[in-house]
Structure formats: C-alpha cells, structure tokens
C-alpha cells in the first residue's frame, strides 16, 4: 500500500454563514489547494463528505458540483455519507484510492450548510440517524441518546456535571485561540453551574446534559489535499511532511439499547485499536488528539475507549489538567465540536486539518509544543460507526 | 384523517425459528445463529429502568416542554427504548410496558411502547 | 390650564402609578454580571443610538423589531403611549439588551419587544423573564398579553412557560391573536426561568448608572461575527 501524505489543508470559519453550500466547499477547497504546492500536477479525484445536502439544502451529487466549481474535470468524484463520521470516512476513501494506486492526488472536502433550516428542522434531521422504528418514532433525538448514555456513565464511573462543565470550559477557552472556531466566548464554572442564575444560563437539553454540554449547529467546510508520498517527494516541500499513518473503522448496533454493554463505546475502541495497529504506534505515543465532543460526556468516554486513560478515569485526567492545552495530552486544542462548531459533514475533515496544523507547527496560539503524532476520533451515528485516524509528522529524505 | 387512528398496536420482537433468541429491533439474520426465519413475538412485561432522560430538544412533532425517554431491560433480557410515564424516575426502578400514543403525525396517532411504574398492592405485601 | 396644556392633555391622559422596577444583578455564562434596571425617559436617546444600526438588519427579525421598538421608545419619551415602561440589561455599563411593554389596565399588561444586542448569553431570556417579573410581581398584574415577530423564538416561550391562548384579544403588534402569561403560570415557571440577585451592590449600580452604547461598529460586527454560544438556534435575537 502506498503511503499517503497530506499536501494541503484549509477550512472556512465555522459558524453561521450567508454562504451557500457550494460557496463553503469551494472556499475550503481553494484554501487547501493553495496550501498544497502541486507544481503542474492536478487533482485526480475529489471526495466530498456531507450528511444533509439532499434534505436540508435540496441538492444532490454535490461532489460533481464541486468539481465544476473548481474546474477540476475530468477528475473522479463522489460524495460520502456516514452521518457525523462522513468527514473521516471521506478521507478514508481518498486514502484507499491513493493506496491502491488509483489516484495520486485526492481532494477531500467535508461540508455542511445546516443553517438553511431552523433549529427544529436541524434537530429532526440529525435524529434521522437513529433507528426509525425502535428509537426515532418515540421522539428520540441525538441529545436524548447522549443524555441516557451520560446518566449511565456518570452513575457507573462517578463523573459529575462539574466534570462535564470542565470539558466545556476547556474547549471554549481553546476555541478563543482558534480564528476558525464558531464560538468565541469564554465561559466560567460560576456562570454555567454554580450561580443560581446558571439554571437560566445553562438549561437542560437532555438531562443530565445541559445547553453547554451540547455542540452548536454550524455551517462550514474543511478540506485536505492528499497525495502519495512519492508524488510529494518530487515536489518542493519543507523538511517534514504529515502522513496519514493509520485509519481504523468499526461499527456497532444501530439501536443504542441493543449494544452489548451500553456504557462501552466498543466501536471507538475497535476503530482506535485498528488505527494504532496500522500506524505502528500506541496511545502512549500520541501528543495531541481531536475527539468528537458533540456532547461533553463523549470527550471523556472516547478518551478512555481509545486507550488514553483506563476506563472510568478519563474525568480524573481532565481534573488534573492532563487534557488541557498545556497538559501531557491536550484534547481538542481547536475547541473541539463544542467550540469549533459542528457542520456535520465537515467535522471529521476539520479534525484532521487541525492535527495537520499542529504537526506542522502552524497552530499559532493553540500550538501543542513538539507534536509529532496526532489522533482523531470521528463518531458517527451514536457510536455505531466510528472512524479513527492517526497522523504522524515524518522527516523527509532529500534527493 | 380522523379514522386513520389505529387501534393499539403491539410492538414485536423477532424470535429466531432456529435458536429461539428474541431480538429487537428487527434484523434480517439472527444475531446469534445467523438463521433467517423469525416469528413475531409481542414485547410486553416488566423490567428495570436501565437509564432515562428528560429531553427538551424536541422536533416540531412535539409541542410539550419535554419528553421522558428510557431504555428498559425487560425480565428475560431484551432491552427496549420507549417513553417513560413516571413522575419519579430512577435508574433500576421496576416498570412495566404498555402501549400508548407516542406521537401524533398527519397520518394520525402513532402507538408504541411506554413504561409505567409497577404498582405494589396490598395483596402483594406479605402479612406474616 | 393653558390652551397648549389642554391640547397636550387630550393626547396624554393621567398615567397609572407604576412602582419602579428594583434593579437586579445576573451572573451570565461568561462570568460577567448583567445589571437589569429600568430606563428613564431622558435615557431613550442613548438607546436609540444603539438600536439604529440594527434597523437594516433583516436577519432574525432585527429590522422590524428595531423599527417598532424605536417608535415605542420615542413614544415613551414623548408621552405618546400610556403607561409604557422600558428595562435594559447592562454589562459593564454597556447595553446588552432592551425590553419594553405597557399596562392596558391595572390587571392586564401588554408585552412589546425584546431586543438582544449581546448574543449567545441568554440575555433575551433573562430580560423577557424580568419583564414578566415586573408586570406580575412588581406591578401586581394578573396577566400579560404576548406575541412576537419571530416564530421560532415565540414558539419557545409558548412551550417553555407555557403560554395560554387568549385569541379573542388582538395584540397591538399587528392585531394578531394574543397569547397570555397568567399569574399562576408565572409563579410555577419563576424558579426555573427567572433569576437574579437583589439588592445590586453599590459599585455595580454606579457602573450601570450611565448607559453606554456598544461601539457602533461592534453591535453590527457582533451580530454577524459573534455567534450563539451554544446549541441554541431557538434563541431569536429579537422578539
């Protein structure tokens, strides 16, 4: 299998945008293409990650639309839909094309234009990933699955609402240093939990999860240019290159109640194990991680399932500052989904854009010093389809 | 369309004709033995609340302030998701299933699983 | 009485005695403190200056709410709406939001508008609740008539309090069927929806004594640049 490098990375600011779906994906793509010095090489294939264009934006076949916008014909193109894990899945499809020798350079762009509809409609759209007869029909929306999971997890492992609030505060603070983040607002423990006014500031969404435990609804796009390493080596590049060291993926039961052990994110564990195995590194060698904190409880649970902390001890690491920007394993330096925002199809790609910047030393005020290995977890469905990715910075041989 | 209101439906699981395992929701092949023949069996009875939530982030289909949902582990091992009608919910509490209106749509009322607390009556208490 | 006094009296009948709104302090999610206090007539020009940049902003009904509020505040200042009041939320003395309404009679109030300038911190929710607190707890009214321009924002109040229908009464803001918050519903909802500490410490009151306009550029930039802080697209910026 041919090794795959990241040649270029770019994204739009996430948030509430007047741009159309096509504008967003073009903007991110152009940023990544400009970042990738490709000489006179061209893009062989385009993979777009998106969950809701057909429903929310009434557009289909958007990868073909992107090829047109960027004049990339006759490149191959398709759209990948894997719910909230669409982004990492699209990267995986691009990697597979290069690894198999079917493409040398692939543009992967994740996009979501969620605010074309109101929040009720957006909530219902995301709820469509739940099981139609066994969950959705009961009024289940994604926050309810997270709420039920959180209650069980907290009861079993002793996490409290204060721990969840710590995740939110940390990610809001990190997002302040990220110009691309949706949310630029510091929050405090007093304001969201301790003051009597917190009950209005931070109302329940799906008990025990509250407003500040849930990521925002965002528009945005993120983009990577992937290339086979031998292509990269013929180009004028700096001394190190960010490689996709390993990708893993695993699935689990659709209905959350059918999971063999309801507090276990086994798809996260299996996907992470596979990614680490393929990358030839273990969790202990990871310097920085982007985890899928659609709900604050998930950052903690994923950090354990991926192997960074023993089961039930992720909140202890959080308390000790291990996962803060200055800690031993910063998690979500970008602000995560909570702070950076969550345009569903774009998130998986945005996680890898952030890690690319971190591993290149280009992350500015949120730089994790000396980051050499990065890990991302993109959580699809409610944990029934997870893609994990390990990135590594490698020194290049010259000549 | 008023007369689209269906009579109380039963929610069914699938009992494998080969190994008798009951699974829910429906799979094309038995999750235990892989067989592809099933008989529907009603899902009903008592169990314990595994977890629950009060959900405020509802879609347009609901005009109430919140919806109480739960995952219940029924006696016999099957787990199900449904609406919890209990003003005092607790993890581990004994509940039993009933069929009720879980949603109203343009097509009429939709029925499904609800859970109510199991009442203890005087006759259940051992006088001795 | 002079003839101009007599003419003025035609358009300005005797006002009801309205006890003042006692200011309160609210800790926001950011850790900042917002002081909620009543606005005096001579402070209206400052509010108008803050609202003016929003008059052309279509998004989230800012234009229509700003335009209507602008007129209502002018009417308040010039005594052309009977028994109108205005409350403001101030963060470090800077205007964060405005609410207003009037009394129909001793028992019934009519809520006018809620305009949020500082978004993402539930300022609108806090100020709307303060308005209801004023009508019911301070002025002793029994019900408040309510409608709103933003359907999503309004639906949230409709469900959250909840509001009752009083559709036989047309609301001033467009003659549409009114909804009403009754004293009973308010009492039940108050612990959940209304917060704040009294009395306000002297130094906070002093800081809030003079209303400051958010930098002209900032109000607009803030609106387009500073997004909701949480998954809360239901929060209309203007109601």
**For residue B123, is pLDDT > 60?**
no
CB contact under 8 A, A123 and B59: yes
Q: Which residues pair with C25 in a beta bridge?
A: C35, C197
Tell me which chain A residue has its CA closest to the CA of residue B77: A258
**For residue B104, is pLDDT > 70?**
yes
**For residue B121, is pLDDT > 80?**
no
- Please, which pLDDT band fits residue C215 given cuts at 50, 70 and 90? confident
Q: Which residues pair with B55 in a beta bridge?
A: A206, B67
**Rounded mean pLDDT of A52-71?**
97
**For residue C149, is pLDDT > 90?**
no
CB contact under 8 A, A216 and C126: no
**For residue C238, is pLDDT > 50?**
no
Question: What confidence score (pLDDT) does residue A399 get?
Answer: 43
CB contact under 8 A, A200 and C31: no
CATH label, B45-116, candidates 1.20.1260.10, 2.40.50.840, 3.90.1200.10, 3.40.50.970: 2.40.50.840
Contacts of B63 in chain C (CB under 8 A): 159
* Chain A contact partners (≥3 CB pairs within 8 A): B, C
What is the bridge-based pairing of β-strands C143-146 and C108-116? Answer: parallel
> Which residues, including other chains, have CB under 8 Å from residue C3's CB and lie 6 or more apart?
none
Q: Mapping DSSP to helix (H, G, I), strand (E, B) and coil, where does residue C153 land?
A: helix
**For residue C154, is pLDDT > 90?**
no
The answer to whether residues A108 and A223 touch, using CB atoms and an 8 Å cutoff, is yes
- Please, which pLDDT band fits residue C231 given cuts at 50, 70 and 90? very low
- Please, which pLDDT band fits residue A310 given cuts at 50, 70 and 90? very high
Half-sphere exposure of A173 (CA within 13 A, CB side): 14
Mutate: best of A197, A213, A339, A344, partner C, most C CBs <10 A: A197
Residue A31 to residue A9: CA distance in whole angstroms: 7
- A209 or C149: which leads in pLDDT: A209
B59 close to C (CB below 8 A):
no
Quote the distance between the C-alpha of residue C67 and its chain's center: 14
Q: Tokens 């006018």, residue?
A: C112
H or E segment and range at residue A110: strand A105-113
The answer to whether residues A183 and A175 touch, using CB atoms and an 8 Å cutoff, is yes
Quote the distance between the C-alpha of residue C201 and its chain's center: 23
For A113, the token pair is 């234009």
Question: What confidence score (pLDDT) does residue C230 get?
Answer: 30
Tell me which chain A residue has its CA closest to the CA of residue B62: A139
The answer to whether residues A387 and A365 touch, using CB atoms and an 8 Å cutoff, is no
**For residue A378, is pLDDT > 50?**
yes
Question: Which pTM value belongs to this model?
Answer: 0.94
The answer to whether residues B56 and A203 touch, using CB atoms and an 8 Å cutoff, is yes
State the nearest Cα–Cα gap between C224 and chain A, in angstroms.
Answer: 8
Residue C113 to residue A313: CA distance in whole angstroms: 49
**Domain boundaries in chain C?**
20-225
**Rounded mean pLDDT of A290-294?**
98
The answer to whether residues A136 and A130 touch, using CB atoms and an 8 Å cutoff, is yes
Lowest mean pLDDT among B99-108, C17-26, C28-37, C84-93: B99-108
The reply to whether CATH 3.40.630.30 applies to domain C20-225 is yes
Residue A349 to residue A12: CA distance in whole angstroms: 12
Question: What confidence score (pLDDT) does residue A355 get?
Answer: 98
Segment A245-258, tens digit of pLDDT: 999 999 999 999 99
ipTM comes to 0.94
| Alpha carbon separation from A76 to A48, A66, A222, C238 (Å, rounded) | 11, 11, 19, 46
Lowest mean pLDDT among A238-247, B94-103, C35-44: A238-247
B28 close to A (CB below 8 A):
no
Lowest mean pLDDT among A91-95, B55-59, C141-145: B55-59
A131 close to B (CB below 8 A):
yes
The answer to whether residues A302 and A268 touch, using CB atoms and an 8 Å cutoff, is yes
Peptide bond preceding A208 in cis form (omega within 30 of 0): yes
State the nearest Cα–Cα gap between B55 and chain C, in angstroms.
Answer: 13
Segment B17-42, tens digit of pLDDT: 999 999 999 999 999 999 999 999 99
Residue C47 to residue C87: CA distance in whole angstroms: 11
C→A contacts (Cβ < 8 Å), by residue, are 26-32, 120-122, 125-126, 129, 152, 191-197, 226-234
Q: Where are the alpha helices (DSSP H) in C78-215?
A: 123-133, 151-160, 183-193, 202-207
Return residues 192-231 of A near C (CB < 8 Å). Answer: 192, 195-202, 205, 211-212, 214-218
DSSP state of C58: -
- A38 or A235: which leads in pLDDT: A38
Contacts of C159 in chain B (CB under 8 A): 63-65
**For residue C228, is pLDDT > 50?**
no
For A128, the token pair is 């469509």
Question: What confidence score (pLDDT) does residue C69 get?
Answer: 96
CB contact under 8 A, B65 and C162: yes
Question: What confidence score (pLDDT) does residue C236 get?
Answer: 32
**For residue C218, is pLDDT > 90?**
no
Question: What confidence score (pLDDT) does residue A333 get?
Answer: 98
**B39-78 burial: b if 16+ Cβ within 10 Å, else e:** eeeebeeebebbbbbbbbbbbeebeeebbbbbbbbbeeeb
What is the bridge-based pairing of β-strands C84-91 and C108-116? Answer: unpaired
CA torsion A303-A309-A312-A313 (nearest 10°) is -110
Tell me which chain B residue has its CA closest to the CA of residue A145: B53
CB contact under 8 A, A199 and C195: yes
The answer to whether residues C74 and C51 touch, using CB atoms and an 8 Å cutoff, is no
Question: What confidence score (pLDDT) does residue B6 get?
Answer: 45
Residue C141 to residue C58: CA distance in whole angstroms: 34
Return residues 358-377 of A near B (CB < 8 Å). Answer: none
Question: What confidence score (pLDDT) does residue A371 get?
Answer: 97
Q: Tokens 């695993």, residue?
A: A250
Question: What confidence score (pLDDT) does residue A236 get?
Answer: 61
Segment B28-78, tens digit of pLDDT: 999 999 999 999 999 999 999 999 999 998 988 898 999 999 999 999 899
Contacts of C151 in chain B (CB under 8 A): none
CB contact under 8 A, A258 and B91: no
**For residue A24, is pLDDT > 70?**
yes
Tell me which chain A residue has its CA closest to the CA of residue C193: A200
Question: What confidence score (pLDDT) does residue C173 get?
Answer: 87
**For residue C141, is pLDDT > 50?**
yes
Mutate: best of B13, B49, B50, B51, partner A, most A CBs <10 A: B51
* DSSP percent split of chain B into helix, strand, coil, nearest 5: 5, 45, 50
Residue C208 to residue C87: CA distance in whole angstroms: 12
State the nearest Cα–Cα gap between C165 and chain A, in angstroms.
Answer: 22
For A234, the token pair is 């013929």
Lowest mean pLDDT among A164-173, A292-301, C209-218: C209-218
**Rounded mean pLDDT of A136-163?**
97
DSSP state of C119: -
Segment A318-341, tens digit of pLDDT: 999 999 999 999 999 999 999 999
A157 close to B (CB below 8 A):
no
Tell me which chain C residue has its CA closest to the CA of residue B56: C160
**Rounded mean pLDDT of A291-309?**
98
Mutate: best of B54, B60, B63, B66, partner C, most C CBs <10 A: B63
What is the percent of chain B where pLDDT is above 70?
86
Tell me which chain B residue has its CA closest to the CA of residue C233: B57
| Alpha carbon separation from A200 to B107, B110, C134 (Å, rounded) | 37, 34, 18
Contacts of B65 in chain C (CB under 8 A): 159-160, 162
* Chain C contact partners (≥3 CB pairs within 8 A): A, B
Which of A224, A111, A174, A222 shows the shortest CA–CA distance to A338? A174
For C196, the token pair is 């704040």
Q: Which residues pair with B105 in a beta bridge?
A: B108
Q: Which class is domain A4-118+218-233? A: alpha beta
Q: Where are the alpha helices (DSSP H) in chain A?
A: 21-35, 62-69, 86-99, 119-127, 142-157, 161-176, 189, 198-201, 229-233, 266-279, 296-305, 314-319, 336-340, 347-360
Which of A216, C114, A142, C193 shows the shortest CA–CA distance to B65? C193
**Rounded mean pLDDT of A296-322?**
98
Average pLDDT, chain A: 96
- Please, which pLDDT band fits residue C221 given cuts at 50, 70 and 90? low
State the nearest Cα–Cα gap between B128 and chain A, in angstroms.
Answer: 37
**For residue A159, is pLDDT > 60?**
yes
Mutate: best of C157, C159, C232, partner B, most B CBs <10 A: C159
- Please, which pLDDT band fits residue A235 given cuts at 50, 70 and 90? low
Question: What confidence score (pLDDT) does residue B4 get?
Answer: 37
H or E segment and range at residue C82: none
Question: What confidence score (pLDDT) does residue B10 get?
Answer: 79
State the nearest Cα–Cα gap between C57 and chain B, in angstroms.
Answer: 27
CB contact under 8 A, C152 and A119: yes
Contacts of B57 in chain C (CB under 8 A): 231
Residue A105 to residue A75: CA distance in whole angstroms: 10
**For residue C59, is pLDDT > 90?**
no
Residue C69 to residue C71: CA distance in whole angstroms: 5
């Amino acid at each position: 299998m041919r090794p795959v490098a990241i040649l270029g990375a770019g994204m739009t600011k996430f948030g509430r945008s007047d741009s159309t779906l096509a504008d967003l994906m073009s903007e991110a793509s152009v940023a990544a293409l400009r970042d990738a010095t490709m000489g006179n090489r061209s893009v062989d294939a385009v993979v777009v990650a998106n969950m809701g264009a057909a429903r929310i934006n009434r557009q289909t076949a958007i990868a073909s639309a992107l090829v047109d916008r960027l004049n990339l014909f006759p490149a191959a193109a398709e759209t990948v839909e894997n719910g909230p894990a669409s982004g990492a899945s699209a990267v995986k499809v691009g990697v597979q094309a290069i690894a198999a020798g079917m493409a040398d350079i692939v543009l992967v762009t994740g996009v979501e234009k969620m605010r074309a509809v109101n929040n009720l409609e957006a909530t219902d759209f995301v709820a469509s990933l739940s099981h139609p007869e066994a969950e959705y029909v009961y009024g289940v929306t994604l926050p309810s699955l997270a709420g039920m999971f959180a209650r069980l997890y907290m009861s079993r492992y002793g996490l409290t609402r204060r721990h969840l609030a710590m995740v939110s505060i940390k990610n809001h603070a990190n997002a302040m240093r990220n110009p691309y983040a949706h949310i630029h607002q510091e929050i405090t423990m007093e304001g969201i939990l301790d003051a009597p006014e917190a009950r209005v500031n931070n109302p329940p969404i799906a008990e025990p999860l509250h407003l500040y435990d849930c990521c925002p609804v965002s528009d945005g796009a993120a983009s990577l240019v992937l290339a086979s390493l031998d292509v990269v080596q013929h180009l004028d590049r700096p001394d190190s290159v960010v490689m996709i060291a390993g990708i893993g993926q695993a699935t689990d039961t659709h209905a959350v109640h059918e999971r063999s052990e309801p507090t276990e994110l086994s798809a996260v564990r299996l996907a992470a194990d596979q990614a680490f195995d393929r990358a030839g590194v273990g969790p202990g060698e990871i310097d920085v991680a982007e985890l899928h904190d659609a709900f604050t409880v998930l950052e903690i649970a994923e950090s354990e399932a991926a192997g960074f902390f023993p089961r039930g001890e992720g909140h202890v690491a959080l308390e000790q500052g291990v996962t803060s920007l200055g800690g031993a394993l910063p998690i979500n330096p970008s602000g995560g989904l909570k702070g950076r925002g969550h345009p569903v199809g774009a998130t998986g790609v945005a996680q890898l854009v952030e890690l690319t910047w971190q591993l290149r030393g280009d992350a500015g005020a949120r730089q994790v010093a000396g980051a050499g290995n990065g890990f991302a977890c993109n959580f699809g469905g409610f944990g029934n389809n997870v893609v994990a990715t390990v990135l590594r910075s490698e020194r290049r041989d010259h000549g | 369309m008023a007369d689209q209101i269906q009579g109380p439906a039963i929610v069914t699981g699938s009992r494998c004709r080969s190994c008798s395992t009951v699974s829910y929701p429906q799979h094309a092949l038995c999750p235990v033995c892989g067989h592809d023949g099933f008989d529907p069996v009603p899902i009903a009875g008592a169990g314990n609340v595994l977890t629950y939530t009060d959900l405020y982030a509802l879609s347009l289909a609901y005009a109430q302030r919140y919806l109480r949902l739960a995952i219940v582990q029924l006696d016999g091992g099957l787990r199900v998701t449904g609406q919890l009608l209990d003003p005092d919910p607790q993890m581990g509490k004994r509940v039993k299933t009933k069929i009720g209106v879980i949603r109203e749509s343009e097509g009429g009322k939709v029925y499904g699983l609800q859970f109510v607390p199991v009442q203890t009556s005087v006759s259940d208490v051992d006088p001795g | 009485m002079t003839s101009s006094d007599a003419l003025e009296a035609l358009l300005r009948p005797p006002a009801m005695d309205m006890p003042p709104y006692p200011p309160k302090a609210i800790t926001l999610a950011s850790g900042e403190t917002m002081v909620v206090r009543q606005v005096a007539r001579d402070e209206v020009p400052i509010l108008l200056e803050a609202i003016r940049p929003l008059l052309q902003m279509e998004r989230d009904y800012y234009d229509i709410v700003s335009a209507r509020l602008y007129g209502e505040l002018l009417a308040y200042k010039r005594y052309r709406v009977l028994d109108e009041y205005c409350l403001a939320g101030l963060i470090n003395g800077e205007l964060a939001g405005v609410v207003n309404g009037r009394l129909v009679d001793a028992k019934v109030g009519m809520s006018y508008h809620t305009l949020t300038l500082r978004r993402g911190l539930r300022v609108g929710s806090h100020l709307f609740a303060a308005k209801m607190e004023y009508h019911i707890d301070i002025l002793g009214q029994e019900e408040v008539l309510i409608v709103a321009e933003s359907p999503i924002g309004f639906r949230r109040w409709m469900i959250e309090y909840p509001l009752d229908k009083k559709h036989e009464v047309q609301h001033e803001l467009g003659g549409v069927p009114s909804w009403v918050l009754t004293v009973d519903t308010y009492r039940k909802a108050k612990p959940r929806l209304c917060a704040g500490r009294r009395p306000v410490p002297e130094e906070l009151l002093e800081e809030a004594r003079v209303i400051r306009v958010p930098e002209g550029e900032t109000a607009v930039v803030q609106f387009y640049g500073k997004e909701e802080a949480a998954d809360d697209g239901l929060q209309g910026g203007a109601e």
